Amino acid sequence: MTKKSNYVADENRYEKMKYRRTGNSGLLLPEISLGLWHNFGDDDNFKNSRNLLKCAFDNGITHFDLANNYGPPPGSAEKNFGKILKKDFSAYRDELIISSKAGYKMWEGPYGEWGSKKYLVSSLDQSLKRMNLDYVDIFYHHRPDYDTPLEETMSTLDLMVRQGKALYVGLSNYQPEEAEKAFKILKGLGTPCLIHQPRYSLFDKWIENGLLDLLGNSGVGAICFSPLAQGMLTNKYIKGLPKDSRAVKDSPFLNTEQVVEMLPKINALNEIAKNRNQNLAQMAISWILKDNRITSVLIGASKTEQILDSVKAIENTTFTNSEILEINKITD
């Protein structure tokens, strides 16, 4: 028998977080959401994964974001999340927003990735089994598929809502032109797009060139991932390159050369953050939240301290004109 959890959520959790409406929908999301891209796979410490989720929920973070391929190995983050959900959060399911995605490679063969109806239906069924859920709150198409008709992909998202396997649908990594077409198709089907999940940070502002305006005008929410630019927008690299950092280990997403090139900007931004009584990571998150078209910032964490630190960013999301000008001068 599985030992029952003694976890009881902090009764003051909703006083610690602010919530924003997701586009024109009725759904509120926390300004900080927790992504399970890293630190929840089979190679990670299960006890630590549990503590991360408890810490997040105790601080009002109600949204946990997954995808079929998160791990490693692919699928293991959903499987481990399902175990933690059953053990610690079964009494709180209706207080949680749980999302998953499909689009990247998940299994071998022609039906294991991209955007066909075959792949998306199979993937969501697998995700629900791994997490032991009847439905996810949000299901995303994880990336555009230029070889599958957009109508096929969007009608499959609509089907999932009609089948009760997802409450809402979203898109991730779509460029403005692609997103606009997808929004129109979904709206015509009667299942409007709830939210778009793009990469966005002080060092990666591509969504400012059209996507943010489209989202605002279309009544679609935005939840931004990689807000700390793979750790560059933290205090980690200010005094050098830690041996255990992603950059030194030559992660697929960050290398030493990138960090060295950005160090002058990192240090200049850190001075502004100190003048705001924030650390660099907090200011980077606050910067994203200063725009009311952004619904939530998606953080990752390997330690509970990182979650607590990020939550403090919601205390000051206002920037003076001089701060904005100075930050733009550094980052542009």
Chain-centre distance of CA 281, in angstroms? Answer: 16
Question: Closest Cα to residue 66, out of 11, 106, 111, 31?
Answer: 106
Tokens 């946990």 belong to: 64
Which tens digits make up the pLDDT trace of 301-331?
999 999 999 999 999 999 999 999 999 999 9
Spans of the chain, pLDDT less than 50: 1-2
Are β-strands 296-299 and 97-102 bridged in parallel, bridged antiparallel, or unpaired? unpaired
Q: How much is the pLDDT for 1?
A: 43
Q: How much is the pLDDT for 134?
A: 98
pTM of the model: 0.95
The residue extents of the domains of the chain are: 13-231+279-317
The answer to whether 118 and 73 have CB atoms below 8 angstroms apart is: no
Q: How much is the pLDDT for 239?
A: 75
Q: How much is the pLDDT for 299?
A: 98
Q: How much is the pLDDT for 247?
A: 57
Q: Which CATH superfamily is domain 13-231+279-317 in?
A: NADP-dependent oxidoreductase domain (3.20.20.100)
Q: How much is the pLDDT for 249?
A: 59
Question: Two tokens at 252?
Answer: 């697929």
Q: How much is the pLDDT for 246?
A: 60
- C-alpha 249/C-alpha 199 separation (Å) is 22
The answer to whether 82 and 119 have CB atoms below 8 angstroms apart is: no
As a three-state string, the secondary structure of the chain is: CCCCCCCCCCCCHHHCCCEEECCCCCCEEECEEEECCCCCCCCCCHHHHHHHHHHHHHCCCCEEECCCCCCCCCCHHHHHHHHHHHHHCHHHHHHCEEEEEECCCCCCCCCCCCCCHHHHHHHHHHHHHHHCCCCEEEEEECCCCCCCCHHHHHHHHHHHHHCCCEEEEEEECCCHHHHHHHHHHHHHHCCCCCEEECECECCECHHHCCHHHHHHHHCCEEEEECCCHHHCCCHHHCCCCCCCCCCCCCECCECHHHHHHHHHHHHHHHHHHHHCCCCHHHHHHHHHHCCCCCCEEEECCCCHHHHHHHHHHHHCCCCCHHHHHHHHHHHC
